[in-house]
Amino acid sequence: MFATATLFLLLTVSLALMRAVIGPSVFDRLLATNTIGTCTVLLLAVIGFLTERPEFLDLALVYGLLNVIGTVAVLKFFRQGNLGDPGNSEKAGQ
Amino acid sequence: MLIDGLSWACLIAGGVFCCIGAVGLLRMPDFYTRTHAASVTDSVGAGLILLGLILQAGLTLVAVKLVMIGLLLFFTGPVAVHALAKAAFNRGLKPLLADTDRSASAASPLQPMPTDEQLPTPGLEEAPSKP
């Protein structure tokens, strides 16, 4: 049953990866990246049970922390600086 | 045996909810509706999969670590999605409203969002302003 859950999670990651590739705005790509990070945490936990090595849970914990910090850091960069778009600097700086 | 059955059901249901969230993330027409679909994966899917793993682990240190992972995902997932939606709204990404472009959405329900270059002046506003 762990293999079935792994397959479901891999399907989820591939669908989110499609959204990250075709996403029109940068926020869609960030949302898909956030979903991929959550699924990676779950995938690490399930693979730890699948291979009967529960040490993978520590990796999952650390990856969850890094995922959240990465998302919030990128968003803070977006809100405070511009991305080099001409004519958008005064709007992005608010 | 009962614990195994419950764990099996939780793992399968969590996987199905993760896939539902990903399909919604792929098929929803707007960024803000996509955040709604992605939070299904963050809350229900992750919670059910971790509950199934906890039922497999029993009362051990592994279960405590799984509870910690669950709490981390439960508290930080909505925070990250909220920050994402707030940053998108502050940057000027307009929500796809039903009354502003009914004609455009009737023609193609999956119409393209404004891309990064069009964000300061979204093309969605031009549709209702014509006399």
Tokens of B127: 């549709």
Q: What is the mean pLDDT of residues B55-80?
A: 89
- Same structural domain, B104 and B126: yes
- Same structural domain, B76 and B128: no
- Same structural domain, B106 and B48: no
A71-89 burial string, b = 16+ CB within 10 Å, else e? bbebbeebeeebeeeeebe
Tally A–B CB contacts below 8 A: 168
Residue B123 in 3-state DSSP? helix
Q: How many domains does chain B have?
A: 2
- Same structural domain, B40 and B68: yes
Distance between CA atoms of A86 and B14, rounded to whole angstroms? 44
Note the pLDDT of residue B128. 45
- Same structural domain, B60 and B37: yes
Tokens of A58: 């520590």
For chain A, say whether B75 makes contact (Cβ under 8 Å): no
Tokens of B23: 């399909």
Quote the minimal CA–CA distance from A18 to chain B in Å: 7
Nearest CA in chain B to A79: B87
Give the domain ranges of chain A. Answer: 2-92
Which of A60-64, A67-71, B61-65 has the lowest average pLDDT?
A67-71
| B92 against B31, higher pLDDT | B31
Tell me the pLDDT band of B100, cut-offs 50, 70 and 90.
low
Domain of B21, in residue numbers: 2-91
- Same structural domain, B43 and B75: yes
- Same structural domain, B85 and B118: no
Q: Verify whether the Cβ–Cβ distance A27 to B31 is below 8 Å.
A: yes
Q: Verify whether the Cβ–Cβ distance B87 to A79 is below 8 Å.
A: yes
- Same structural domain, B103 and B80: no
Distance between CA atoms of A28 and A20, rounded to whole angstroms? 7
